[in-house]
Chains A and B, each alone.
Chain A
Amino acid sequence: MKIFGFLFQSSIGKKIMMSLTGLFLISFLLVHCGVNAMIFFNDGGEIFNEAAEFMGTNWLIRTIEVGLFVFLLIHIIQGLYLWNDNAKKRKEKYGKTAGNANSTWYSRSMGLLGTLLLLFLIIHLRHFWVISRFTDVVTGGEQTLYEMMKEVFAEPWVVAAYVLGCISLAYHLMHGFQSAFQSLGINHPLYTPLIQQIGNGFAIVVSVLFAAMPVAMHFNIVQ
């Protein structure tokens, strides 16, 4: 603890922690998006269900899932704490502000975007994770994940909530991806513009793919 305590105590330590947990969550998104995109094979969810079955039963994936929740909780708690703490550092506010002249609105709104994502996450986990991990075990449910998706996304407000969640994700990632590298001290005239472009590309591709899933299911584009 003496060596790693700074990750929770000092200003730089905390942002290194936000960066490391964020990068882990990014790697999770890549896998999650890749597996879910298999619904677009449009084969009635056959390949997707097989992949979901593997992800849900493989011991290694299940172990990493525990780590995922730990990192997710650290990212959320530390993020909310930093948001609140940073907001208190200027008690007397400016009479006139011009934030857009020097930074992007989404880089200044990571706390807000993250909170929207948290709200989305609660809805999302309730829809799928809770049911597939616990309810089915109890009831011995017969429903496949693909059928669950079909059922959940029949509801228009759910589709709207998911699309809004994906928009929040896109902006959160557009700042978060490149910011994670800066926090770790990776800044170089050659690589930083590349990291920023990859980050923007990742943010848009992943968010559009995720948003396309409820939309495609709702309008029966995938059967």
Chain B
Amino acid sequence: MEKGINVTLKVWRQKNETSAGSFETYKVQANPDMSFLEMFDVLNEQLITEGKDPVAFDHDCREGICGMCSMVINGRPHGPKGGITTCQLHMRSFKDGDIIVVEPFRANSFGVIKDLSVDRTAFDRIIAAGGFVSVNTGNAVDANNILIPKEIADKAFEAATCIGCGACVSACKNASAMLFVGAKVTQLALLPQGKAERQSRVVAMVNQMDAEGFGACTNTGACAAECPKEIPLSVIATMNREYLAAKLNGK
């Protein structure tokens, strides 16, 4: 085993959604090849041995596709590296003696369930408002029955890679969810399957987004810069366009 590095963690501890939280300081010796979450596993082992309450943090796949790891590391969602989630961040990205501040994604619309675990059901309600397509019941249709040009399919797929982690909201100074909503609106507006609800969808999803209390977009670009799936800012422009067209159409 390689020589470990010693880091000082300042971790946000909060009992539940309603209580006030504060930072606690911990010292951890980590292997440089550990992921950031594995380092937290080590910390929690330590805390359990000491008879203390382990740090609650979300994780599921640990391979960058579930979007559960809602940590802001030194002021940046998913840490200092671009295009990855927290589980794909490794301790080799830090130096011996570093002080690392870890806090949950923060927004009024994202409650802190406990410590670093964040309630992102607001996203589910936005999806439920319009992030779907209607299909006929019966047998599944053949693949490629509806022809979609490759470049359109690619663009839709690029938007569809959003994992709904909420890094965009956490990075935005206005806690705006427009990159998330824009990604879903763009994906479905591009595909023929999404055409039926195209205009009502964008209005319903934007209305729900506003009702959830997310902020407005000021085009700073922080969301796209921090997105682990590198969703481009152009999806917000697409959503604006779709929304304007729907509204002028009386939707």
- Chain B nearest CB from A107 CB (Å) reads 4
B136 at the interface (CB under 8 A from A): no
Taking Cβ atoms with an 8 Å cutoff, the residues of B that contact A are: 10, 12, 21, 23, 72, 74-76, 80, 101, 103, 106-109, 112, 171, 173-176, 178, 206-207, 209-210, 213-222, 225-226, 233-234, 236-244, 247-248, 250
A10 at the interface (CB under 8 A from B): yes
Taking CB atoms, residues of chain B closer than 8 Å to A94 are 72, 75, 103, 106
Inter-subunit contact B218/A107 (CB<8 Å): yes
A101-B75, A184-B244 as given contacts; A179 in contact with B215, CB under 8 Å:
no
Stretch at the interface among A52-60, A84-92, A136-144, A206-214: A84-92
Inter-subunit contact A16/B244 (CB<8 Å): yes
Inter-subunit contact A86/B247 (CB<8 Å): no
- Chain A nearest CB from B77 CB (Å) reads 9
Taking CB atoms, residues of chain A closer than 8 Å to B173 are 86, 90, 99, 108
Inter-subunit contact A183/B222 (CB<8 Å): no
Inter-subunit contact A187/B222 (CB<8 Å): no
A187-B233, A187-B237 as given contacts; A108 in contact with B216, CB under 8 Å:
no
Tell me the residues in window 165-202 of chain A with beta carbons closer than 8 Å to chain B beta carbons.
Answer: 175, 178-179, 182-189, 192
Closest to A178 in B: B219
A15-B217, A182-B219, A185-B238 as given contacts; A102 in contact with B244, CB under 8 Å:
no
Taking CB atoms, residues of chain B closer than 8 Å to A182 are 219, 233, 236-237, 240
Q: Inter-chain contact count A-B, CB under 8 Å? A: 146
Inter-subunit contact A86/B101 (CB<8 Å): no
Q: Tell me, in angstroms, the Cα distance from A88 to B250 when the chains sit together.
A: 31
- Chain B nearest CB from A126 CB (Å) reads 30
Inter-subunit contact A86/B174 (CB<8 Å): yes
Inter-subunit contact A102/B222 (CB<8 Å): yes
Taking CB atoms, residues of chain B closer than 8 Å to A13 are 243, 247
A89-B213, A103-B225, A187-B237 as given contacts; A95 in contact with B101, CB under 8 Å:
yes
A15-B217, A110-B218, A179-B219 as given contacts; A102 in contact with B226, CB under 8 Å:
yes
Q: Which of A12, A108, A188 has the most CB of B within 10 A?
A: A12
Within the complex, which residue of A11, A97, A108 is in contact with B209, where a contact is CB–CB below 8 Å?
A11
Taking CB atoms, residues of chain B closer than 8 Å to A133 are none
A3 at the interface (CB under 8 A from B): yes
A63 at the interface (CB under 8 A from B): no
Q: Tell me, in angstroms, the Cα distance from A26 to B112 when the chains sit together.
A: 43
Taking CB atoms, residues of chain A closer than 8 Å to B74 are 96, 98
A95-B103, A98-B74, A99-B222 are known contacts; what are 5 more A-B pairs with Cβ within 8 Å? A11-B206, A96-B101, A102-B226, A108-B220, A185-B240
Inter-subunit contact A12/B75 (CB<8 Å): no
Q: Which of A15, A102, A107, A182 has the most CB of B within 10 A?
A: A102
Tell me the residues in window 35-51 of chain A with beta carbons closer than 8 Å to chain B beta carbons.
Answer: none
Q: Tell me, in angstroms, the Cα distance from A17 to B53 when the chains sit together.
A: 50
- Chain A nearest CB from B154 CB (Å) reads 13
Q: Which of A13, A89, A184 has the most CB of B within 10 A?
A: A89
Taking CB atoms, residues of chain A closer than 8 Å to B242 are 185
